[in-house]
Structure 1
Amino acid sequence: MNQIIEIAYANLLSPMILFFLIGIIAVLVNSDLKVPTAFYTGYTMIILFTIGIKGGVELRNVAFLEMLPSIVAALILSILMLFIAFFFVHKLCKFSVEESWALSAHYGSVSAVTFIAGLAFLDKIEVFYETYMSAILVIMEGPAIILAIILYKLHLQKQGKEINNPNASIQHVIKEAFFGKSIFLLLGGIFIGFVAHADGLLLIKPLFGDLFYGILCIFLLHMGMIATQSIRQLEKIKPISFIFAFLLPLIGGTIGILTGQLIGLSLGGAFILAVLTGSASYIAAPAAIAQAIPKANSGIYLGSALGLTLPFNLILGIPYYYWFATLLY
């Protein structure tokens, strides 16, 4: 227990977490602090491009067969978390079918911000991890969203309630899940990092490299503000109904570490797989779900994924995943 407290304490003192906490405080004290929309869009693009470029550069030195076990595991974990989440929110927490599939899509998908925080944590303590994990992030983002919407549409057909909405079609959903802003920027970054000349990459390093963590800190300041605002949308719902927002990350993270060990990942690689499995999407999933499951309350799935699970993972989840991983390695 002392070890996990020490890890959590060290994590809390990292600049990224402190910026996130300042964002929370800004909302709690009703500060007039605001981040312009254009600025938010700009630094989101820089962050996602940087992750992709770094992953693309590292993929040059990795054989596909070396990645294959992690790719298969990532797909299985994504789908497994979809069904675990549906069981929790529908059977135990008694949410409607619409909200249950919407929430499950978010918790079966992944969070790029939590992923970056996990990488920064490993870099800080100088722990090795497999360099292709950025590609695993991309692989885990879309499948659960697509499957959740397909299963929801099958439910509507079974109930005789299917509606003809072009924005809810499978084709549109696939486009949103796999070619929405976040995944498109990640894929674009991977492509650039994989094919660009080393000299060319050096020219863009000041922006997509040297400034990365500074920009990320401002992003997390903004996320802290949005997370706190999202929590306020949940005030009319019983707090116990959102216990899943803390249990699912712990379950997903634990399964992720056990899976990472099973397929032969390093301690750092298993930790990152746990971070991904225990996270919840709040960029790709909301865009697709808003179109395909319009009856689901956006305040519930955004409030839980962004307002509860993200802070939990940043402050407590990451230390727990690393602590549990050290017990097995």
Structure 2
Amino acid sequence: MGQIVEIAYANLLSPMILFFLMGILAVLVNSDLKVPSAFYVGYTMIILFTIGIKGGVELRNVSFLEMLPAIFAAVFLSIMMLFIAYFIVKKLFRFSIVNSWAIAAHYGSVSAVTFVAGIAFLDKVAVYYEAYMSAILVIMEGPAIILAIIFYKMYVQKNGGENNNPNSSLQHVVKEAFFGKSIFLLLGGIFIGFVAHTDGLIKIQPLFGDLFYGVLCIFLLHMGMIATQSIKQMEKLNPLSFMFAFILPIIGGTIGVLVGNVIGLSLGGAFILAILTGSASYIAAPAAIEQAIPKASSGIYLGSALGLTLPFNLIIGIPYFYWVATMLY
């Protein structure tokens, strides 16, 4: 217990978490602090490109066969979390089928911000992790979203329903899930990092490298504000109905560490796999679900993923996942 408290204390004092907490405080005290939307788009692009470029550079030294176990594990974990999330929110928390599939899509997908916070934590404690984990992030983004929408459409057809929205077609959904802005920027960054000349990468290092953690801190300040605003919008709802937002990260993260250990990942790699499995999407999933499952409540799926699970993982999940990993290695 002393070890996990020590890890949690160290995590809380990291600049990224402190910026996130400042964002929460800004909303709680009704500060007039605002982040211009243009800035948000700009630093989101920098963060996602930087993750991708770093991963692409590291992929030069990794064979596909070396990645194969992690790729299979990533797809398996994504699909597994989809069904675990659906079962919990439908059977235990009694949400409607429509909202259950929408929520499950978010918890089967992943959060890039939680991933980056986990990488930063490992860098701080000087723990090695596999270079290809950025590619695993990309792989885990889409499968659960697609499957959730397919099962929802099967349910609609079975019950004689019909959705004439052209943006809800499976082709459009696949495009949104696998080539939405977050995935596109990550894939683009990986491609650039993989094929670009080293001297060219050195020239862009000041923006896509040196400034990365500073930009990330401002991003987390903004995320803290948005997360708190999402929670405030849920004030009229029964808080106990959203306990799944804390249960699912613990389940997913614990299973992620175990699977990472079984397939032979390092301590750091298993920790990152736990973070991905225990996280919830609030960029790619909402964009696809809004179009494909319009009857689902965005306040529920976005409020839980962004307003509850993201803060939980940044403050509690990261030290917990790392502690579980250290128990196995």
Compute the RMSD of aligned alpha carbons: 0.5
- Measured in 1, the distance between the counterparts of 2:202 and 2:112 equals 24
Q: Which residue of 2 aligns with 1:236?
A: 236
Q: Which residue of 2 aligns with 1:132?
A: 132
Q: Could you tell me how far 1:162 is from its partner in structure 2?
A: 2.2
- State the AA in 2 paired with 1:126: A
Q: Which residue of 2 aligns with 1:40?
A: 40
Q: Which residue of 2 aligns with 1:293?
A: 293
- Measured in 2, the distance between the counterparts of 1:105 and 1:327 equals 30
Equivalences for 1:239-278 in 2 at 5 Å?
Answer: 239-278=239-278
- Measured in 2, the distance between the counterparts of 1:234 and 1:160 equals 32
Q: Could you tell me how far 1:269 is from its partner in structure 2?
A: 0.3
Q: Which residue of 2 aligns with 1:15?
A: 15
- Measured in 1, the distance between the counterparts of 2:163 and 2:245 equals 30
- Measured in 2, the distance between the counterparts of 1:201 and 1:316 equals 35
Deviation by residue 1:176-196 (Cα, 9 ceiling, x = unmatched): 101101000000000000000
Q: Which residue of 1 aligns with 2:169?
A: 169
Residue 265 of structure 1: SS of its match in structure 2?
A: coil
- Measured in 2, the distance between the counterparts of 1:267 and 1:222 equals 31
Deviation by residue 1:200-231 (Cα, 9 ceiling, x = unmatched): 00000000000000000000000000000001
Greater CA deviation, 155-164 or 48-57? 155-164
Q: Could you tell me how far 1:233 is from its partner in structure 2?
A: 1.6
- Measured in 2, the distance between the counterparts of 1:328 and 1:208 equals 34
Deviation by residue 1:45-101 (Cα, 9 ceiling, x = unmatched): 000000000000000000000000000000000000000000111111111111111
- State the AA in 1 paired with 2:48: L
- State the AA in 1 paired with 2:323: W
- State the AA in 2 paired with 1:230: S
Which consecutive residues of structure 2, in runs of 5 or more, have no partner in the other structure? none
- Measured in 2, the distance between the counterparts of 1:326 and 1:310 equals 23
Matched, 1:182 2:182: yes
Matched, 1:108 2:108: yes
- State the AA in 1 paired with 2:152: Y
- Measured in 2, the distance between the counterparts of 1:39 and 1:3 equals 38
- Measured in 2, the distance between the counterparts of 1:248 and 1:191 equals 33
Instruction: Give TM-score, length-normalised by structure 2.
Output: 1.00
Equivalences for 1:34-73 in 2 at 5 Å?
Answer: 34-73=34-73
Matched, 1:226 2:263: no
Greater CA deviation, 159-168 or 73-82? 159-168
Deviation by residue 1:99-158 (Cα, 9 ceiling, x = unmatched): 111100000000000000000000000000001000000000000000000000000000
Count of residue pairs brought into register by the alignment: 329
Q: Could you tell me how far 1:237 is from its partner in structure 2?
A: 1.3
Matched, 1:208 2:228: no
- Measured in 1, the distance between the counterparts of 2:232 and 2:76 equals 34
Q: Could you tell me how far 1:274 is from its partner in structure 2?
A: 0.1
Structure 1 residue runs of 4+, over 6 Å off? none
Equivalences for 1:130-169 in 2 at 5 Å?
Answer: 130-169=130-169
Matched, 1:80 2:80: yes
- State the AA in 1 paired with 2:314: L
Q: Which residue of 2 aligns with 1:90?
A: 90
- Measured in 1, the distance between the counterparts of 2:270 and 2:208 equals 26
Identity of aligned residues (%): 81
- Measured in 2, the distance between the counterparts of 1:81 and 1:163 equals 27
Residue 306 of structure 1: SS of its match in structure 2?
A: helix
Instruction: Give TM-score, length-normalised by structure 1.
Output: 1.00
